[in-house]
Chains A and B, each alone.
Chain A
Amino acid sequence: MNFDLRLPIGLMFSLFGLLLTAYGALTRSSKIYERSLGINVNFWWGLALLVFGGTMLLLAWRASKQPKT
């Protein structure tokens, strides 16, 4: 079956990461972060999701370059 699960996982979490990072940057002076102990969790966790999603995409891309056995 020619379907690499890392591709949709990577895409989805990269998208979530982009969304959260952008939203975190836009709302950085907002009061909404009082509940998260003053930490802009959207921005930082968005970056973490972006790294995770990007790694998954990279792994899927590398696997697609391998010759099929």
Chain B
Amino acid sequence: MSIQLAAIDYVILCTYFVFVIGIGWALKRYMKGSTDFFLSGRSIPAWVTGLAFLSANLGAQEVIGMAASGAKYGAMTSHFYWVGAIPAMVFLAIFMMPFYYGSRARSVPEYLKLRFDEKTRGFNAISFAVMTIFSSGISLHALAKLLEILLGWNYDACIAISASIVLVYIFLGGLTSAIYNEVLQFFMIVLGFSPLVYLALKDVGGWAALKEKLIPVATSQGFEAGTWSASWAHLGSTTANPMGVEWFGMVMGLGFVLSFGYWCTDFLVVQRAMAANSMSAARRTPLIAAVPKMLFPILVILPGMIAIALYQGGDKFLPFVDHDPAKGIDYNMTIPMMLVKYFPAGLLGVGFTALMASFMSGMAGNVTAFNTVWTYDIYQSYIAPKKSDNHYLWMGRWATVFGILVSVGAAYLASKFNNIMDMLQLVFGFVNAPLFATFLLGMFWRRSTGHGAFFGLVGGTVGAALFHGLALSKGAAVGIKGGWLAHTLGLQTLPFPFHSEMAQNFWMAIVAWTSCFVLTIVISLATVRNKTDEELKGLVYSLTPKPKSENEPWYQQPVTVGILVLAATVVLNILFW
């Protein structure tokens, strides 16, 4: 499958690397203290933080994974955007950013310390630091493996070059360098993939012709004719769509628990908004990101849908997993193979550079979030408090080196022991699912206590693990995919059978969130408040003066823009119902 890039492709790739490192170099002289390095001195304009907010999420999972899902599930993949992202981004902008930004917390775990107590912060900081660095490693492994398969490049060299470039520009320019490069990467991805959408759609004969060509894709798998080109019409039951999910699991599991848990509490994305130069800019950050986000399905899902339509029509350009027809199509190769199919030398260089940019922006986002949480929430809190600001700047730089080295180690771990990474991601799922319940109660219920938050989080995590042990999707083996507790207890029938692994994950999130929510309320009512109303000012909705935006033009008012964004999302959902 090895593809030869032309000299012009390498020139484009190298030019991009020079600019990325050049931005880091140019920003080095502005890094005078730890606030500059970790928080960009809170000086970045809204349009930059907005595009960086989106780009930090544009990692490997987004570009490669969503195109793969577009081929595998069709237009239903748009739920990851129009249900699983936009509402949460609007909620973050209107209701949550005033607390994150106004409390002057330097990180999300630090907000938990101010709102609840030290043990809740510690639980979140340590689990987040471990998760981000392993996510970074998984992203690095995916990039190196892709380049090895597609271009025949050496796996070790791919790891070394990618990791070194990210290390250099973050070491030099800290969060500002990561944010500025994420904006560069955003434009690279949009301008690199746009011609692909145009050429592929032209080749297939336009949207109406694509819908026609997707009919045999659906009927050959036993679904109704329009299943691949509709997003909501076939969510009535789990057997009516390829995702194996029904509407309640989709709306509550993905649209509420997982989506709000990620977009509203994950420091990786929230950190971008916290670097904005004013409260108004911080609140506009997720809204600015929401506009391109709602259009991204055109850029990443549509090529996947076109690829499977062409494949079904006889153009067998997609490879099999491990070249074994018995294992089925390797959907993760959809975007790379589409680039190779339509792009000549020259534009192919732009396309591959965009692909590398997506991997690197995801990795850089993880590393900058890690170095901040490590330095402020772990090192300064538990290991070396009361040191000079210069000391923490020094530690931040070395945390970047350490983070990159651990990412490289995690990448090699993923290449040798795939099951370990599956296991780690499963545990991360247990920890992440209940998080939003803690934040929701913390921000909107002044009676919630530190004990309630901590034991609620632990209870939610345990609840997720127990549910996983009692649930299993159709055709999956007992073990890492679930069912292990039912097997251990010798149960004859599985308490929670699911039609698909995705449905199982959505419901696991619902159970974890509900466990955490109920436990936090019960334990809070049974324990004494550990914060006075005075201490909670700026941290709880009812005790915080509302930020005013009446004097700003309508397009800078978060509530007005948020309503417009939600209305546009509803229209998109109706158009592709």
Contacts and interface: CB of A to CB of B under 8 A. Distances in A.
Interface of A: 1, 3, 5, 8-9, 11-13, 15-16, 19-20, 23-24, 27, 30, 32-33, 35-37, 39, 41-42, 45-46, 48-49, 52
Contact of B203 (A5, A8, A24, A37): A37
B47 to A, nearest CB: 9
B30 A24 contact: no
Contact of A20 (B19, B41, B350): B350
B374 interface: no
Contacts of B346: 19-20, 23-24, 27, 42, 46
B12 A19 contact: yes
Contacts of B12: 16, 19
A49 B195 CA distance: 11
A30 B191 CA distance: 24
B16 interface: yes
A57 to B, nearest CB: 14
B41 A1 contact: yes
B202 A8 contact: no
Contacts of A8: 19, 22-23, 26, 180, 184
A15 B203 CA distance: 29
Interface of B: 8, 11-12, 15-16, 19, 22-23, 26-27, 30, 41, 43, 48, 176, 180, 183-184, 187, 191, 195, 199, 202-203, 341-347, 350
Nearest to A32: B344
B344 A5 contact: no
A16 B6 CA distance: 15
Contacts of B341: 35
B347 A35 contact: no
Given A16-B12, A16-B15, A36 B343 contact: yes
A37 B27 contact: no
A1 B43 contact: yes
Contact of A9 (B187, B347, B350): B187
Given A13-B191, A15-B15, 14 more contacts: A1-B41, A5-B48, A5-B184, A12-B15, A12-B16, A16-B12, A19-B12, A20-B350, A23-B345, A35-B341, A37-B199, A39-B199, A45-B195, A52-B187
B48 A35 contact: no
10 contacts: A1-B176, A3-B30, A8-B22, A12-B16, A19-B12, A30-B344, A32-B344, A36-B342, A37-B202, A37-B342
Given A9-B183, A9-B184, A12-B184, A41 B344 contact: yes
B372 to A, nearest CB: 19
A33 B347 CA distance: 11
